[in-house]
Amino acid sequence: MTDGTRTVRGQARGRVLAAGQLMVGWVALLWLLEAVDAASGHALDRFGIQPRDPAELVDVVPASFIHFGFDHVAANSVPLLVLGFVAALSGLRRFLLVCALIVVADGLGVWLVAPAHSNTAGASGLIFGLFGFVVLSGFVERRPLGIVVGVLTAAYWGTTILAGLSPANDGVSWQGHLIGLIAGVAAAFVVRRRRIPGAA
């Protein structure tokens, strides 16, 4: 084994470890916030987005970290952990930029188009955005491995994603899901990397 091969493998292990640690920490934070919310009589629910109120613009980002009960955060934990981990393997700074783009775009979109008198919160908009990013980024960058990952992701999560876009789902912000998905697709183009010949 050459020194170059050892370096490449070491870098790959480092990316995997960093991505895993980040996403476990992220999901743990969501559970901690929900525990604080429950202990405080759901005082954190006010950080959800209530549409078209200028004062609510400050909640565009915090809303992605707040959930309405443990069932809500539990439903979001696995897809966020998996899709976030896959997306973060391409680099943490790039991943955090993608998340910032999705969260801000989704939050502003919800603020603009959500039904009156609603209160929208949760990581699902980010999850839908990460799905769109993971599925599209390999195709956008013409990376064979990324294309395979995108196809497998679409095959496994696609039905769930489509169901989450249905307006027939009561109590679910399909608007937030749709806007998040669109933001994730856009992010795949915005942060695309130039393909190095021969790279996967």
Q: What pLDDT does residue 2 have?
A: 60
pLDDT by residue (tens digit) across 170-184? 889 999 999 999 999
For residue 119, pLDDT beyond 90: yes
Q: What is the pLDDT of residues 74-89, one digit of tens each?
A: 999 999 999 999 999 9
The yes-or-no verdict on residue 18 having pLDDT over 80 is yes
**What Å distances lie between residue 113 and 75, 102, 117, 129, 179, CA to CA?**
24, 16, 12, 17, 10
Q: Read off the pLDDT of each residue in 82-106 and give the average, rounded to a whole number.
A: 97
Q: What's the chain's average pLDDT?
A: 93
At residue 49 the predicted structure's pLDDT band, cuts being 50, 70 and 90, is very high
Backbone angles phi, psi at 49, to 5 degrees: -95, 120
CA-CA distance, 121 to 88, in Å (whole number)?
Answer: 23
Taking the C-alpha atoms of residue 166 and residue 160, their distance in angstroms, rounded to an integer, is 10
| Nearest of 119, 137, 128, 140 to residue 179 by alpha carbon | 128
Which pLDDT value is given to residue 169?
85
CA distances from 192 to 92, 133, 177, 188 (A): 14, 10, 22, 6
- Identify which of 148, 129, 130 has the alpha carbon closest to the alpha carbon of residue 86: 130
Among 2-16, 94-108, 165-179, the range scoring the smallest mean pLDDT is: 2-16
Q: Which residue has the higher pLDDT, 172 or 109?
A: 109
Buried b (16+ CB within 10 A) or exposed e, 57-92: eebbebbbbbbbeeebbebbbebbbbbbbbbbbbbe
Confidence of residue 200 (pLDDT cuts 50, 70, 90): very low
Whole-model pTM: value is 0.93
**DSSP structure class, residue 59:** G
Confidence of residue 199 (pLDDT cuts 50, 70, 90): very low
Percent over 90 (pLDDT), the chain: 87
Confidence band for 3, pLDDT divided at 50, 70 and 90: low
Locate 58 and state its tokens: 């400050």
Residue 174, token pair as written in the block: 């399909």
Q: How far is Cα 176 from Cα 126, in angstroms, rounded to an integer? A: 9
